[in-house]
Chains A and B, each alone.
Chain A
Amino acid sequence: SYEVTQPPSVSVSPGQAASITCSGDKLGDKFACWYQQKPGQSPVLVIYQDSRRPSGIPERFSGSNSGNTATLTISGTQAVDEADYYCQAWDSTTVVFGGGTKLTVL
């Protein structure tokens, strides 16, 4: 079965850019999306179709996907961005989630 892998944790200083990766075999041939989940809350979609932002998501969130890696980038990271982030892709007719990355804003 298809799998996508994320680093368990990423740390960033306030105001700096944070990058969270999602790796999978030829992931660039698929579409990736990203969810933000804060403690005790439901996930929120922040990026879909590799790089598109839903309405209401700040412009500092961006995404890319090429080769075997999709990347979520948060520019000018704020304390409010501290959360778990999950990537998601489709493999045939199955939804695949990554293991999640805890973003810490130090």
Chain B
Amino acid sequence: QVTLKESGPALVNPTQTLTLTCTFSEFSLSTSGMRVSWIRQPPGKALEWLAHIDWNDDKLYSTSLTTRVTISKDTSRNQVVLTMTDMDPVDTATYYCARLAYCGGDCYSRGAFDLWGQGTMVTVSA
């Protein structure tokens, strides 16, 4: 069974850097066509896409967060890592990793997130 699981600190101080890890099973980011994104959701609010990485190490970032966010992968550990600098209370949210699928040959128009992790809640507060 394919699973994804997020891990990281539940509480970070303002201005600190957040590092989150997505560990997945039953698929590999070394396999052609595999892609994983990070998505967040502030309490009571909508989903917001943050970043994306694929098997070829191509990366995409939200235009509003591109200066603060970095995504990377450790293929040997089946992990994708998100770092976000200069954390602020408005960054308080549940952070999800999700697998992109159903690409039909063009992920960046057809792709949808078929599997999601359980999410990890991050609170930014002093």
A: which residues have CB within 8 A of B?
A: 1, 30-31, 33, 35, 42-45, 48-49, 52, 54, 86, 88, 90, 92-100
Report the tally of A-B residue pairs with Cβ distances under 8 A.
64
- Do A42 and B49 contact each other (CB < 8 Å), given the known contacts A30-B109, A48-B102, A52-B102? no
Closest residue to A44 on the B side, CB-wise?
B116
Select A54's contact among B39, B46, B47, B114, beta carbons within 8 Å.
Answer: B114
Closest residue to B48 on the A side, CB-wise?
A97
Give bound CA distance, A99 to B39, whole Å.
14
User: What A residues does B113 contact at CB under 8 A?
Assistant: 35, 43, 45, 88
Give bound CA distance, A9 to B48, whole Å.
19
Known: A43-B98, A92-B108. 8 other contacts (CB 8 A): A1-B63, A30-B109, A31-B110, A43-B47, A48-B110, A48-B114, A98-B46, A100-B47
